[in-house]
A and B are shown apart, each in its own frame.
Chain A
Amino acid sequence: SQELEQSPQSLIVQEGKNLTINCTSSKTLYGLYWYKQKYGEGLIFLMMLQKGGEEKSHEKITAKLDEKKQQSSLHITASQPSHAGIYLCGADTSGTYKYIFGTGTRLKVLA
């Protein structure tokens, strides 16, 4: 079983709609990282969360960390076609350099 589960696996939304992606860990989270991946561009770092209850925003993307639930959610407000891509969560569950990654959520935004 995956140590880091993402849901949903894929998502298709109409432009302008809000959406949420979840990332749940089976282990303690020392740091939670959100990345966006587009073809040919590698993983683009979005934000890092490290404290329970922490919330960060990057343009129209907001991420929160629920340390007790060992879970993070990524929320996109008023989605645009430019938000399309694969969103990956990565986590430090050992207090070291070793990240584990979720399987990703493929987002498509219809214009």
Chain B
Amino acid sequence: DAGVIQSPRHEVTEMGQEVTLRCKPISGHNSLFWYRQTMMRGLELLIYFNNNVPIDDSGMPEDRFSAKMPNASFSTLKIQPSEPRDSAVYFCASSLSSGIRETQYFGPGTRLLVL
């Protein structure tokens, strides 16, 4: 079975450019999560979707960050304009439901470097 798929795996861009990260959750999962991982702050939840609807975006750092989930099999996280401090590994995860004690399965991540 395919796990969570993310693309690109690596992205290097210059400050001010738009960056779009993509995620395909595990088929049948109705909850999707975007996380950011840095050395300083560890793994942080950015946004959570349930049934394609954004439920909690309290972790989105600034208005420069936006996320969409147009259908059950695709989500994007966009940064516009990007800044060097956005450099991090961005993970997408999905779970079967949003119920208590539901395991989240993570994708391989996108390593973003903003110069």
Contact = CB atoms under 8 A, between A and B. Distances in A.
A and B interact: yes
B100 interface: yes
Contacts of A42: 4, 6, 91, 106-109
B100 A88 contact: no
Majority SS at the chain B contact face? strand
Interface in A44-72: 44-45, 48, 50
A44 B102 CA distance: 15
Contact of B100 (A40, A41, A45, A92): A92
A46 to B, nearest CB: 10
Residue from A88, A99, A104 having most chain B Cβ neighbours under 10 A: A99
A86 to B, nearest CB: 10
A45 B101 CA distance: 14
A33 B100 contact: no
A43 interface: yes
A48 B50 CA distance: 22
Contacts of B6: 42
A96 interface: yes
Contact of B42 (A44, A50, A101): A101
Contacts of B48: 97-98
Interface string A74-111: 00000000000000101010011111011110000000
Interface of B: 4, 6, 9, 31, 33, 42-43, 45, 48, 50, 55-56, 91, 93, 95, 98, 100-109
11 contacts: A30-B100, A33-B103, A42-B106, A42-B109, A45-B106, A50-B101, A90-B43, A90-B104, A92-B100, A97-B55, A99-B45
